[in-house]
Amino acid sequence: AQTVTQSQPEMSVQEAETVTLSCTYDTSESDYYLFWYKQPPSRQMILVIRQEAYKQQNATENRFSVNFQKAAKSFSLKISDSQLGDAAMYFCAYRRGNNDMRFGAGTRLTVKP
Amino acid sequence: GAVVSQHPSWVICKSGTSVKIECRSLDFQATTMFWYRQFPKQSLMLMATSNEGSKATYEQGVEKDKFLINHASLTLSTLTVTSAHPEDSSFYICSAYTPDQPQHFGDGTRLSIL
């Protein structure tokens, strides 16, 4: 079974600084997708970034980038130039093919002004 | 704009009643829809997977007779919580999937059973 582990229940960052959220996963598959979702208090699930396992290049989306280490089964999210609007729950997720998405326990990010 | 519409966003009802939640994919045909449940300050837990025209596949521990899922078309899936009780109060989120598309989530339904 695939499991996703987020070892940081809470993280805090100063506005304009950089923060890294950790995620590890367990799978025996070679082809899969990894995601980071943001869930603000409104509880909408907002896709932040996605990574295809077959791609060696780390995905980036503006201030958000990932460090994908396939051999280590690690998928961390780096948020640069943190903004107050980045405060939210962040979920790491794994999906294989058209199967369901499995989520980590989440990391609550606080951004201090 | 939203590509997955979920209704209602919030419902309060009496214990013993049944509640139906709709999930519609607006811009695409979803081959698969997923239903998740989220308790406060917890992660999303998969309840069931539904494919159009076939019976839903439920996760272990999810009561099939309590959480009825219907996926009658490629754009609509419904979750009916039957004979709801206070312990069924939770946040329910649907997600729609089709190949070559990112998985889209509805905005969720907050269900409160009195």
Q: pLDDT 10s per residue in chain B (114 long)?
A: 558 999 999 999 999 999 999 999 998 888 899 999 999 889 999 999 998 888 899 999 999 999 999 988 889 999 999 999 999 999 999 999 887 677 889 999 999 999
pLDDT of residue B1: 56
Of the candidates B61, B73, B33, B71, the one whose C-alpha atom is nearest the C-alpha of residue B49 is B33
Structure confidence at residue A97 as a pLDDT band (50, 70, 90): confident
Q: Are B46 and A102 in contact (CB < 8 Å)?
A: yes
pLDDT of residue A103: 95
What percentage of chain A exceeds 90 in pLDDT?
88
CB-based contact, B77 to chain A, within 8 Å = no
User: Distance between CA atoms of B14 and B20, rounded to whole angstroms?
Assistant: 14
pLDDT of residue A99: 77
Q: Are B99 and A98 in contact (CB < 8 Å)?
A: yes
Out of B32, B43, B107, closest to residue A91 by CB = B43
Give the distance from residue A18's alpha carbon to the nearest chain B alpha carbon, in angstroms: 24
E runs forming strands in B8-62: 10-13, 19-25, 32-38, 44-51, 57-58
Give the distance from residue A95's alpha carbon to the nearest chain B alpha carbon, in angstroms: 10
User: Distance between CA atoms of A14 and A24, rounded to whole angstroms?
Assistant: 25
**Is B95 in contact with B105 (CB distance < 8 Å)?**
yes
Q: What is the pLDDT of residues A11-60, one digit of tens each?
A: 999 999 999 999 999 999 888 999 999 999 999 999 999 999 999 899 99
Tokens describing residue A30:
């070679």
pLDDT of residue A2: 64
Q: Are A98 and B32 in contact (CB < 8 Å)?
A: yes
Q: Which residue of B lies nearest to A34 if distances are taken between CA atoms?
A: B102
Structure confidence at residue A69 as a pLDDT band (50, 70, 90): very high
What value does the mean pLDDT take over residues A52-76?
95
pLDDT of residue A1: 59
- Which residue in B28, B35, B42, B44 has the most chain A C-beta atoms within 10 A of its own C-beta, making it the best mutation to test that interface? B44
